[in-house]
Amino acid sequence: KSEKPSKMNSNNSSMAASAASGGSQASGCTLKDKRAQMADKVPVDANGNKLKPCCACPDTRKLRDQCIMAKGEDQCTDLIEAHKLCLRNLGFNI
């Protein structure tokens, strides 16, 4: 008695192979390609140094943090969103 491989197993193995290779077979774009594209879009400061989310938008970050410490996160959603918007405007994917 011989069992035929199911389509599900065949699809799962091709998806696993695609994931292992770091990309999608359908688009031809690998994870490595996507990382390279993202690296090209890293926000930089006035001196050309790469910005980190923790160091960007210090004004909105300070107001947000002070509000959260004093009132709690639930009372500071407007400042939280303002900080996220600032980060997005700099090019961060937040």
Q: Can you give the pLDDT at residue 43?
A: 85
**Proportion of the chain above pLDDT 90, given as a percent:** 43
The answer to whether the annotation marks 76 as part of a ligand binding site is no
**Average pLDDT of span 50-57:** 91
The answer to whether the annotation marks 54 as part of a ligand binding site is yes
**What is the three-class DSSP state of 86?**
helix
Q: Can you give the pLDDT at residue 48?
A: 85
- Rounded CA separation 21/8 (Å): 20
In terms of pLDDT, which residue wins out, 25 or 62? 62
pLDDT in tens, 14-37: 444 444 444 444 556 666 655 555
Task: Give the count of beta carbons closer than 10 Å to the beta carbon of residue 25.
Answer: 12
Q: Is the pLDDT of residue 58 over 70?
A: yes
Domain coordinates in residue numbering, the chain? 58-90
